[in-house]
A and B are shown apart, each in its own frame.
Chain A
Amino acid sequence: MQELSRENRRTRTAWLRSVAGAARRHVMLAVVAGLLSGFVLVLQADQLSRIIAAVVVEGATLGTVEDALWVLLLALVLRAVLAFLRDWAGQQASIRVRSGLRAELLAKLERLGPAWCQGQRAGDVSTLLLEQVEALDGFVARYLPQMALAVGLPLIIIAFVLPQNWAVALIFLFSAPLIPLFMALVGMKAADANRRNFQALANLGAYFLDVVQGLSTLRLFQRSRGEAQRIHRVSEEFRLRTMQVLRLAFLSSAVLEFFASVSIAVTAVYLGFSFLGELDFGYWDTPVTLQQGLFLLLLAPEFYLPLRELGTHYHARQEAVGAADRLIDLLNEVERAPLGGTASLPDAQAGVALALRQVSLTWPGRHDALLDGLDLSVAAGEHVAIMGPSGTGKSTLMNLLLGFQAPDSGEVTANGVPVAQLDPQCWLGAVAWVSQQTTLFPGTLRDNLMLAAPDASADALWQACRDAHADTFIAALPQGLDTRIEEGGAGLSGGQIQRIALARAFLKDAPVLLLDEPTANLDRDSERLVVAALGVLSRGRTVVTLTHRHDTAQGADRVLRLEQGRLVPLEEVQ
């Protein structure tokens, strides 16, 4: 189990790296800026140590060190610019990665098609495309460049320290073999600490959400007062458990801190004793000078800094790995939506006849077939109602007719041509549908209506609204057809939204009309209006209605019942 999860982690990391590959150049730029900044840092240390040594040892004045001060200033400006460049490049990399990934996920969603989307909670999917993609930000922008810098910057420093003094280089290098160990320590322990910390907070948050959401239930059961004590107790338990882990986990960062501190201390003591003539090793040709000593001392803390910074970015990696899980799941989702062909629908003008022949379909992971050798033929202009409780496969039947889903076996045809061979554009162009949950899109009411017929005239638009009994309430809106729809439908009632869907269907004027519980969840008045409008709309078209209510099925030529994967005629309704 442990091995497996480690294996998983590796594939997720590999996936993250491949996704980040899209922005390789910008990541490289961030790394180069960071490394250049390292060189400038060495230059700064060099100049500062020169100034101090000159003043201390030679009694130099401002005039003598002026040049060095100017170099110091220049180096400073350079570092500021490089720091900006590094941040900027990291951001650019992150933006590229996120927007590329989001485009890929959107394309995947389209390939999965409406049948798949219907089975998902829209909120969950949007969270995946929003928050989970955003979770990659810190990983690409900061963690990835820092990974390279945590190795590169100490190497640069060693490269400058070694020619000056091998003893100090050894003090630094003493920890160099330990760096991979630190990486693992910082990596695993700090990550563990971070993860548990975040997990504890997340659990606490989830518990609190549960309580607040259930507040009315708690009240009804007279438990709401006492719950405060329980919140206190649960939070305290979280604190104790988490602190136990954190106390241990913080030790790893303390180790890093320890080495950073000790290397400064040991360097200082070594240098001091060298100057006093107590120690006589470590230099190459000439004994160590004060300038060299100050230079080495200034570089000591910088040697460990990149590693410490890596630790602070570690939770960004953790977050990205967590998100990767769910993103990979979506990208690996099996695509069952048919691609569609190129054939056009023959004789569409004269009406469209629909047929399903021996259609079977079983959901993956289920034993019993949802549809089992189902036959249905609907003549052009005929109105068929299909009844059955929810969960019996009515929606799947609708998806098969629309070509959003392919059957395991059997055939779905329109005017004798298999729907799978029809050009989707052409086939869907011949269909209008009204479902139980119409979605209005961000934009104006007019935009929503004109989806069906982009070239419709204003007259045609209002006529469609009148036919759908939608004209009165639209006219009463302060901005009429220009009312903006954002989330959920801008204060329109369910009945009103349903009538807008009907107006859209009127405007489309298609030979086939598919209705999926069009009057579910409506109040009596709205239902009356919608039923009346549907009666008009159905005239002269091929209509298939799905419903679980007898009154909705009333106007149909034939009523069938979906039972155990087949359609049987319903005798009592004529």
Chain B
Amino acid sequence: MKALIPYLRQMRPHLGWVLLGAWLGLLTLVASIGLLSLSGWFISATALAGLAGLGAQQFNFFTPGAGVRGFAILRTAGRYGERVVSHEATFRLITRLRTWFYQQLEPLGPARLSQLGSAQLLNRLLADIGALDNLYLRVLAPTLIALSVVLLVALFLTLFLPDVALIAVVGLLVAGFVVPWLGYRLARGVGEAQPEAVAQLRVALVALVRGMADLRIYGGMARARTQIVEREAHLLATQQRMGMISALTGSLMTLVSGLTLILATLPAVIAVRDNLLAPAELALVLFCVLAAFEAVMPLPLAYQYLGKTRAAAQRLNEVVDTKPQIRFPAAGVVPRTPGSIRFDDVYFSYRSQQPVLKGISFSVAPGERLALAGHSGSGKTSLINLLVRFWDADAGVVELGGQPIAAYDESTLRAQLSVMDQPVHLFAGSVRDNLRLAGDVDDQRMRDLLASLRLLEALGPEGLDYQIGEGGSRLSGGQRKRLALARALLRPAPVLLLDEPTEGLDADTAAAVLDLLAEINPGQTQLLISHHEQVLARYPRILRLDQGRLVTPQPD
């Protein structure tokens, strides 16, 4: 449960909503139990009165009649109120959790975030946050309500018969907590095996789709098919076990609630004989026991959620508890020579793997245009990662604007660089939204730039309002590149870093882009990465990287 504490703490500001929701839920259940019990008493009492020859004049039917009607209305109103309030509380908690989690994630920086790995892991992380969204609605509120109902029912029944109260409490606790716990214990191993089974099936499916040509040519189709069928069977088998367990839990709940009722009947009947319980109150007591089980019915599901939520919280805590790898000084220096870059004997490796940069030295004067060439894996992108200080070098000096980059506070460092990185990330929203990241740029400037990148026309009549979709899915690959390039070009900064800006563009467009890059923003230092000779040819100075080393000696 410790894993959940940070998330429970996030509930504090919304405690009012949380408690109101639970209270309304309790009210609804009490009304529901009251309605059946009171009705049972009412017809028993009137039947006895009728048999005794009493009429409506001698029997006070007004109070119980009003009570029955009152409970009926209370139950309806309570249920509605509870649903509205508990959803309100949930959405408020979601807002808070998301904001909080983002604030935990943001300072970690790409070096740590890249440790989270692939997009799949990132999706996992977000699913985990989603699982916590339901902590209150699915787990906390039902538990809180069930416990309160058990307590109230116990107190109420004690007024009539302590024996029945005891039986009811034991029955409710068994049904509400022991049975779900049993189900949880039984399902634990199976529940953990399930994601693994899904993952294995996915691997086999992806291999089939991606490698169907290989499989056809090398004769592996039958094997791949068998593998998929086997893995599916395994998944279905674990699901079936899981299903059996939940079916068993459900049956046990039915059994326990019924047994409790039968057991409660025994002392109640004896009590009536011994005049310890008025005859008319028998139905009241027994119906109360019967109806009380409604409160514990959602609990098995709640505990299934709890298991998932706890696992999610543990994974999230690992992320939240990581310390940022890069620390920026609170107050830093100012650049001495804005636009200059210097690397001096820089060594670098990602997490003690093979070194990617081995003794890199070069310098760039303010306003110079420089191209960095090399095959993929030669260390070009790592160079950029060091310059933007997403990572720190293992040895050597990286200088920007005449100062070591570690001496800058983050915003001074960022203000010196405008970057188009790879792969580009565009945000769902309009073209304008994306370009606004660069700063407060007026529409005309945006349009002019997009026109010279040959992108404006493609956006159609919507122009800057064109919605680019998730990850820019409504743009082609080349259009995405150019929009990201525009974003970087619009941002005023002494240094512009471009990672393969023409990749995926047709020759004409690429040429237009290169023409633009040759004349735009004079005075701005430009550092471009590419492995295309046509691109490199347009730059006055070229550095060639191969396997972490500069291969052509560069005059300084």
Check if A76 sits within 8 Å of B262, measured CB to CB.
Answer: yes
**In the complex, what residues of B have CB within 8 A of residue A262's CB?**
72
**In the complex, what residues of B have CB within 8 A of residue A205's CB?**
126, 130
* Most A-side CB within 10 Å, residue of B55, B69, B243: B243
**Per-position 1/0 for A199-232, Cβ under 8 A of B:** 0010011111111111111111111110110011
Residue of A nearest to B79 (CB): A257
Binding site for A on B (CB under 8 A): 32, 35-36, 38-40, 42-51, 54-56, 59, 61, 64-65, 68-69, 71-73, 75-77, 79-80, 83-84, 87-88, 91-92, 94-95, 98-99, 102-103, 105-106, 109-110, 113, 119, 122-123, 125-126, 129-130, 133, 198, 200-221, 223-225, 227-229, 232-233, 236, 239-240, 243-244, 246-248, 250-252, 254-255, 258-259, 261-262, 265-266, 269-270, 272-273, 279-280, 282-283, 286, 375-378, 388, 390, 411, 414-415, 417-419, 421, 424-428, 437-438, 470-471, 487, 491, 506-507, 546-547
B220: shortest Cβ distance to chain A, in Å?
4
Question: A222 to B250, alpha carbons, bound, how many Å?
Answer: 54
**In the complex, what residues of B have CB within 8 A of residue A84's CB?**
247-248, 250-251
Check if A88 sits within 8 Å of B244, measured CB to CB.
Answer: yes
- The 3 A-B residue pairs with the shortest CB-CB distance, nearest first, are A439-B211, A87-B247, A268-B39
**In the complex, what residues of B have CB within 8 A of residue A508's CB?**
218
Given contacts A211-B102, A228-B99, contact A61 B273 (CB under 8 A): yes
Given contacts A79-B258, A208-B98, contact A87 B250 (CB under 8 A): yes
Across the interface, B491 reaches (CB within 8 A) one of A141, A221, A289, namely A221
Residue of B nearest to A128 (CB): B205
Residue of A nearest to B437 (CB): A221
Tell me if A324 is interfacial: C-beta within 8 Å of chain B: no
Chain B binder among A48-56, A377-385, A556-564:
A48-56
Across the interface, A213 reaches (CB within 8 A) one of B87, B122, B390, namely B122
Check if B376 sits within 8 Å of A521, measured CB to CB.
Answer: yes
Question: A31 to B281, alpha carbons, bound, how many Å?
Answer: 38
Tell me if A373 is interfacial: C-beta within 8 Å of chain B: no
Check if A130 sits within 8 Å of B265, measured CB to CB.
Answer: no
Q: A interface, by DSSP: helix, strand, loop or mixed?
A: helix
Residue of B nearest to A118 (CB): B213
Given contacts A109-B209, A219-B414, A290-B47, contact A523 B201 (CB under 8 A): no
Question: A227 to B429, alpha carbons, bound, how many Å?
Answer: 15
Across the interface, A268 reaches (CB within 8 A) one of B68, B73, B225, namely B68
Given contacts A56-B44, A80-B252, contact A217 B421 (CB under 8 A): yes
Offer 18 A-B interface pairs, CB within 8 angstroms, sorted by A.
Answer: A76-B262, A77-B255, A110-B212, A118-B213, A126-B205, A213-B471, A219-B414, A235-B95, A251-B80, A253-B80, A258-B76, A261-B75, A268-B43, A293-B47, A428-B219, A432-B218, A451-B220, A523-B377
Tell me if A276 is interfacial: C-beta within 8 Å of chain B: yes
Question: A205 to B213, alpha carbons, bound, how many Å?
Answer: 36
Given contacts A208-B129, A272-B61, contact A290 B44 (CB under 8 A): yes
Check if B221 sits within 8 Å of A110, measured CB to CB.
Answer: yes
Check if A247 sits within 8 Å of B84, measured CB to CB.
Answer: yes
Tell me if A555 is interfacial: C-beta within 8 Å of chain B: no
Check if B223 sits within 8 Å of A451, measured CB to CB.
Answer: yes
Question: A486 to B228, alpha carbons, bound, how many Å?
Answer: 13
Given contacts A80-B252, A276-B54, A278-B56, contact A261 B198 (CB under 8 A): no
Tell me if A483 is interfacial: C-beta within 8 Å of chain B: no
Tell me if A69 is interfacial: C-beta within 8 Å of chain B: yes
Check if A207 sits within 8 Å of B428, measured CB to CB.
Answer: yes
**In the complex, what residues of A have CB within 8 A of residue B470's CB?**
206, 210
Given contacts A51-B265, A232-B99, A435-B213, contact A214 B43 (CB under 8 A): no
Question: A251 to B83, alpha carbons, bound, how many Å?
Answer: 10
Question: A84 to B213, alpha carbons, bound, how many Å?
Answer: 46
Check if B84 sits within 8 Å of A523, measured CB to CB.
Answer: no
Check if B428 sits within 8 Å of A293, measured CB to CB.
Answer: no
Question: A98 to B236, alpha carbons, bound, how many Å?
Answer: 9
**In the complex, what residues of A have CB within 8 A of residue B202's CB?**
126, 130
Check if A275 sits within 8 Å of B43, measured CB to CB.
Answer: yes
Across the interface, B56 reaches (CB within 8 A) one of A208, A277, A523, namely A277
Check if B80 sits within 8 Å of A250, measured CB to CB.
Answer: yes
**In the complex, what residues of B have CB within 8 A of residue A88's CB?**
243-244, 247
**In the complex, what residues of A have CB within 8 A of residue B98's CB?**
204, 208, 231-232, 235
Tell me if A410 is interfacial: C-beta within 8 Å of chain B: no
Beyond A268-B38, A428-B216, A522-B375, list 5 extra A-B contacts (CB 8 Å): A52-B44, A265-B72, A441-B211, A521-B376, A523-B378
Check if B219 sits within 8 Å of A264, measured CB to CB.
Answer: no
B470: shortest Cβ distance to chain A, in Å?
6
Across the interface, A83 reaches (CB within 8 A) one of B42, B250, B262, namely B250
A387: shortest Cβ distance to chain B, in Å?
14
Residue of A nearest to B38 (CB): A268
Name the interface size band of chain A. 35 or more
Residue of B nearest to A137 (CB): B239
Check if A52 sits within 8 Å of B54, measured CB to CB.
Answer: no
Check if B87 sits within 8 Å of A243, measured CB to CB.
Answer: yes
Check if B224 sits within 8 Å of A441, measured CB to CB.
Answer: yes
**In the complex, what residues of B have CB within 8 A of residue A228's CB?**
99, 102-103, 106
Check if B88 sits within 8 Å of A222, measured CB to CB.
Answer: no
* Cross-chain pair count, CB within 8 angstroms: 399
**In the complex, what residues of A have CB within 8 A of residue B200's CB?**
442, 486
Check if A117 sits within 8 Å of B212, measured CB to CB.
Answer: yes
B66: shortest Cβ distance to chain A, in Å?
10
Question: A217 to B411, alpha carbons, bound, how many Å?
Answer: 14
Question: A163 to B214, alpha carbons, bound, how many Å?
Answer: 72
Question: A215 to B107, alpha carbons, bound, how many Å?
Answer: 10
Given contacts A61-B269, A439-B211, contact A76 B471 (CB under 8 A): no
Check if B283 sits within 8 Å of A253, measured CB to CB.
Answer: no
Question: A427 to B244, alpha carbons, bound, how many Å?
Answer: 49
Residue of A nearest to B199 (CB): A487
Check if A261 sits within 8 Å of B91, measured CB to CB.
Answer: no
Interface residues of A in 40-94 (CB under 8 A from B): 44, 48, 51-52, 55-57, 59-62, 65, 69, 72-73, 75-77, 79-81, 83-84, 87-88, 91
**In the complex, what residues of A have CB within 8 A of residue B487's CB?**
221
**In the complex, what residues of A have CB within 8 A of residue B113's CB?**
215-216
Question: A102 to B204, alpha carbons, bound, how many Å?
Answer: 13
Question: A207 to B129, alpha carbons, bound, how many Å?
Answer: 13
Check if B94 sits within 8 Å of A235, measured CB to CB.
Answer: yes
Given contacts A61-B269, A114-B216, A208-B126, contact A276 B49 (CB under 8 A): yes
Check if B61 sits within 8 Å of A79, measured CB to CB.
Answer: no
Given contacts A219-B414, A235-B99, contact A276 B56 (CB under 8 A): yes
Check if A95 sits within 8 Å of B236, measured CB to CB.
Answer: yes
**In the complex, what residues of A have CB within 8 A of residue B99's CB?**
228, 231-232, 235
Check if A271 sits within 8 Å of B223, measured CB to CB.
Answer: no
Question: A528 to B72, alpha carbons, bound, how many Å?
Answer: 83
**In the complex, what residues of A have CB within 8 A of residue B92's CB?**
239
Check if A210 sits within 8 Å of B471, measured CB to CB.
Answer: yes
Question: A224 to B73, alpha carbons, bound, how many Å?
Answer: 50
Tell me if A32 is interfacial: C-beta within 8 Å of chain B: no
Question: A271 to B42, alpha carbons, bound, how many Å?
Answer: 9
Tell me if A552 is interfacial: C-beta within 8 Å of chain B: no
Across the interface, A451 reaches (CB within 8 A) one of B218, B425, B547, namely B218
**In the complex, what residues of A have CB within 8 A of residue B233's CB?**
99
Tell me if A254 is interfacial: C-beta within 8 Å of chain B: yes
**In the complex, what residues of A have CB within 8 A of residue B258's CB?**
44, 72-73, 75-76, 79-80
**In the complex, what residues of A have CB within 8 A of residue B59's CB?**
276
Residue of B nearest to A237 (CB): B95
Residue of B nearest to A88 (CB): B247
B373: shortest Cβ distance to chain A, in Å?
13
**Per-position 1/0 for A507-523, Cβ under 8 A of B:** 01000000000000111
Given contacts A247-B84, A431-B217, A433-B213, contact A442 B250 (CB under 8 A): no
Check if B39 sits within 8 Å of A297, measured CB to CB.
Answer: yes
**In the complex, what residues of B have CB within 8 A of residue A243's CB?**
84, 87-88, 91
**In the complex, what residues of B have CB within 8 A of residue A123's CB?**
206
Check if A432 sits within 8 Å of B224, measured CB to CB.
Answer: no
